[in-house]
Structure 1
Amino acid sequence: MSYSHIFGTTRWHFEDLRMLLARAAPHRSGDVLAGLAARSAEERIAAQYCLADVPLKAFLADALMPEVADEVSDLIAAQHASDAFAPVASLTVGAFREWLLGADGPAIAAVAWGLTPDMVAAVSKLMRNADLISVARKINVVRAFRTTVGLPGTIAARNQPNHPTDDPLGIAISAVDGLIYGSGDAVIGVNPATDSVSDYIRTTRLLDELRLTYDLPVQSCVLGHVTTAIEAINLGAPVDLVFQSIAGSQSANAGFGVSLSILREAQDAARALGRGTVGQDAMYFETGQGAALSSNGHHGVDQQTMEVRAYAVARAFDCLLVNTVVGFIGPEYLYDGKQIIRAGLEDHFCGKLLGVPMGCDVCYTNHAEADQNDMDLLLHSLANAGVNFVITVPGADDVMLNYQSLAHHDLAQLRETLGLTPAPEFAAWLAQHDILDRAGRVTGAQTWLQGAGAKLLEFGA
């Protein structure tokens, strides 16, 4: 079905819903690279006006990739719940935007399984940044393993103690550095330098030993490939969370070496271990705008819509964590700080609207037109939007992956500034060891560090 709209003195034509969504998207370098972006600001505005008049029901009848056999498209169709859709079924995309701005959190959460990713991507394209923040803020998506993540008034963090050679002492020291700033309640997660099964098991055991040594109410994760995790579980490794990068099409996921069936096998293996205490949400997914384009798996769909389709994959599983690594893929896809900030707010809004426990790696590569001031703006915007978690590293500089993220002290400052707290189980541990004072501020943890330091040397033995 084609779409058209008169804007100014010109009638603008869009040959199908796929093109309309692409032309209506805010400007970003990835869509330009793919030849999908609006060719002028006037065309973008015309597409947005046209998109606002499209009924939500049209997204159920007009497939974005009809020429492609795609298991993600099949999953999206199977997920749609007509009873949940009923409250908004008569609305256009523009009217849905108005409904979201006026509805309360429970009403929005109730329609989540009635929405498709394409509907959600469409409405986000009509929203200002403030709209994305105010709607996402109303939605709470709570998940649990050893900590409870996503409760109102909290923000969790992934403590990311990466090391260029996976040195055990280096990882342990870096992890403790994060702990004394209150980072780790989402997960202590290591990106391994190699993806061999033996190295995966060694680092998994190290993180579990760290947890047991300090009696930490946290979960750990080695971010190796999902098939490596499955093999490690079968060999008896103490795996808490299973990680995998995912995307919004079958071919893009194939580029990551995964399918829905492999992800289900991994979830079953992790569930069987039963290692959680307050919950058993044992999957951890990462996404990022541009992933499908970089693997030539976008099928002519704009990068933000493809990103939202990845959240349909995520919500099919028991996820504790899902995060967009928003600026990690590079300026070819998100050129500068403005595009990164917009993409981070879009991703968070769209994930929350679909019922996904969204976090964000507030980050950029060194060759992007961005800096830490941009990351400060995105961090505080996401915190106001109720983001579940962020990722922190020592000094904001990941020495293994060679990109810029948030520092541990950025998290501490944010919590103090906005009056946010860690996940309750982790907050209690921090208070017990006088790492947080009664006002929720980090103390420097000198007393705890005296004992922790002696134990740290054991991890290098």
Structure 2
Amino acid sequence: MGYRTDINGTRFGFASLKGLLAKATPERSGDALAGIAAEGPVERIAAQVCLADVPLRDFLDDVLEQDGDAVTALIFEQHDMARFAPVAAFTVGQFRDWLLDPATTGAQIAAIAWGLTPEMVAAVSKIMRAQDLIAVAAKLEVVTRFRSTIGLRGRMSTRNQPNHPTDDSRGIALAALDGVLMGAGDAVIGVNPATDSLPDFIRICEVLEAIRTQLDIPTQHCCLGHVTTAIAAIEAGAPVDLVFQSVAGSEKANAGFGVTLPLLDEAYDAATALGRAPTGANVMYFETGQGAALSAEAHHGMDQQTIEARAYAVARRYRPLLVNTVVGFIGPEYLADGKQIIRAGLEDHFCGKLLGLPMGVDICYTNHSYADQEDMDILLTTLAAAGVNFVITVPGADDIMLNYQSLAFHDAQFIRDTLGRPPAPEFAGWMAANGIGTPEVTLPTLEAALGQLRLPAA
């Protein structure tokens, strides 16, 4: 199947839907690295014009991924033709117009989520401006629950990320308390462990459990080790709240992460069986990021934004509490600068929300990227306007273990103060009861709080 269009008398042809999607993608360094990007702005515009006329049904007939890929099979298994029916006659351009129509409500969009494939939502994002991505995402409310309720309209939650380069218990606790006393952590207090050993994983869970229970914080915690380590920790009786795993948009890329769908099924069953969450609560946490499949040479010729959207099919299989894209973490080889990071963050949030996921974003960049904290301020503010479920925050915006730049606890406070986005209601109530965010702080100082905690032995 080929696609053609004329621009000012010049004929542009695209041999496949996969190639058309790649050429229509807003400029980014990863697609250029893969050799699939448009040759320049004229070809890119031609591809976008051509893509706007593609019927959505073509995405059901033209399989972008190789036969036998587990993620491709999952996408078609998930697809609900009845839910697709309201938009089945649309082209990509008509779908964009319908999404942006003020008469189209968030409830109507949410009702078709399981009728959409990741490739459809990636396609429509490619012909949308930044304000379009914000406007549509802002219509959508995706609510999940554990001990706190995340994603309610008009609120923005945070992950408190107290990483430590040696996984020192007191170092983790100190950073976590720093965030808690700034009102950060209603989505999760989550640690990326420096190692993936089972004893360290269990100890980190115990440290986070001590903080949560001794301060009676209405939140959940997570040690972001490999899913196999989490399963082993559950079997050993560790206090595991959320089970985490990085996922990607092809079977080969997931194999690079050491995961398969059956393994994720096992993890979901283990986390649910623990009974630490209320019945029906969400117990999984997934992380994605543009460039992951390309860096693993597992993108199969797809552009990095489309294959990123395919990762969301994996995530939504497990009704997760949290999903976030680590949008600038992989480096400038994939997103070269602040402009590309901002665009990718808005795309990922839009695509995830359109597929029914509780999307968060790690608003971040590596130290060798052409980006800075002002770019992150712009992305944070636009995502807050778009209704992002949560963002990641670290002490001073500088993650001293992963060696990248994210958001500070203070940045979340900026959004609360300027845009009126309070945290989850349970957490907000706990903050109010303890005077956090007011002059009448009744919790102890950071040093005193650390001294009062009873931490597990190292």
- TM superposition score normalised by structure 1: 0.97
Determine if contact 1:169/1:456 at 8 Å carries over to the other structure: no
Quick one: distance in 2 between partners of 1:164 and 1:447? 28
Q: Is the 8 A contact 1:146 1:278 kept in 2?
A: no
- The aligned residue for residue 53 of structure 2 is 53
Q: Deviations over 1:274-307 (max 9, x none)?
A: 1114852010000000000000110000000000
Query: Within 2, Cα distance between the matches of 1:457 and 1:166?
Result: 17
CA drift of 1:140 comes to 0.5
Q: How does 1:367-406 map to 2 (within 5 A)?
A: 367-406=368-407
Gaps spanning 5+ residues in structure 1: where? Answer: 438-442
- Equivalent residue in structure 1 for 2:445, among 449, 458, 461: 449
- Structure 2: distance between partners of 1:40 and 1:104: 36
User: Aligned residue for 1:94?
Assistant: 93
Following the alignment from structure 2 to structure 1, what is the Cα–Cα distance between the partners of residues 172 and 181? 15
Mapping 1:320-359, distance limit 5 Å: 320-359=321-360
Distance 2:253 2:180 in 1: 36
Using the alignment, how far apart are the partners of 1:151 and 1:130 within structure 2?
A: 21
SS in 1 for 2:332: coil
- In structure 2, the CA distance between the partners of 1:388 and 1:46, relative to structure 1 (3 Å rule), is same
Tell me if 1:40 matches 2:40: yes
Partners of 1:434 and 1:277 in 2: CA distance = 28
One-letter code aligned to 2:96: R
Provide the residue aligned with 1:440 in structure 2.
none
Runs ≥4 residues deviating over 4 A? 457-461
1:20 maps to 20
2:199 equivalent in structure 1? 198
Q: Deviations over 1:300-340 (max 9, x none)?
A: 00000000000000110020000000000000000000000
- After superposition, where does 1:62-73 map in structure 2 within 5 Å? 62-65=62-65, 67-73=66-72
Distance 2:166 2:390 in 1: 27
Aligned residues: 455
Are the counterparts in 1 of residues 434 and 442 from structure 2 also a CA contact under 8 Å? Answer: no
Is 2:363 the counterpart of 1:366?
no
Q: Equivalences for 1:68-217 in 2 at 5 Å?
A: 68-102=67-101, 103-217=104-218
Q: Alpha-carbon deviation of 1:458? A: 4.9
Separation in structure 2 between the aligned mates of residue 452 and residue 428 of structure 1, nearest angstrom: 20
Deviations 1:232-252 (A, max 9, x none): 101111100000000000000
* Alpha carbons 2:254, 2:260 under 8 Å: kept: yes
- Judging changes above 3 Å, is the alpha-carbon distance between structure 1 residues 222 and 77 closer, same or farther for their aligned structure 2 residues? same
| Other structure's SS at 1:13 match | strand
Paired position in structure 2 for 1:4: 4
In the aligned structure 2, how far is the partner of 1:204 from the partner of 1:4? 55
Matched, 1:246 2:247: yes
What CA deviation, in whole Å up to 9, does each residue of 1:174-224 have, x standing for no partner? 000001111000100000010011110111111111111111111000000
Report the Cα offset of residue 149 of structure 1.
0.4
Shift of 1:449: 2.6
Q: Equivalent residue for 1:284? A: 285
> 2:452, 2:171 → 1: CA distance?
13
Give the match's secondary structure for 1:391.
strand
In the aligned structure 2, how far is the partner of 1:253 from the partner of 1:458?
Answer: 35
Matching residue of 2:266: 265
Contact persistence 1:145–1:278 (CA under 8 A): no
The one-letter amino acid of 1:11's match is: R
Distance across 2 between alignment mates of 1:400 and 1:277: 33
- Report the secondary structure of 2:177's partner residue: helix
Matched position secondary structure for 1:448: coil
- 2:244 and 2:284 in contact (8 A); partners too: yes
Contact in 1 for aligned 2:288/2:311 (Cα 8 Å):
yes
Normalising to structure 2: TM-score of the pair? Answer: 0.97
Contact 1:240 1:275 in 2 (8 A): yes
Residue 448 of structure 1: CA displacement?
A: 3.4
Structure 1 residues 172 and 460, CA gap change in structure 2 (3 angstroms): farther
In the aligned structure 2, how far is the partner of 1:460 from the partner of 1:344? 40
Secondary structure of 1:319 counterpart? coil
CA RMSD in angstroms, aligned pairs only = 1.3
Aligned equivalent of 2:432: 431
Equivalence for 2:303: 302
Letter in 1 for 2:295: S
Letter of the structure 1 residue corresponding to residue 28 of structure 2:
R
Output the amino acid matched with 2:43.
E
- 1:459, distance to aligned residue in structure 2 (A): 6.1
Cα drift, residue 9 of structure 1: 1.9
Kindly state the Cα deviation for residue 457 of structure 1 after the two structures are TM-superposed: 7.1
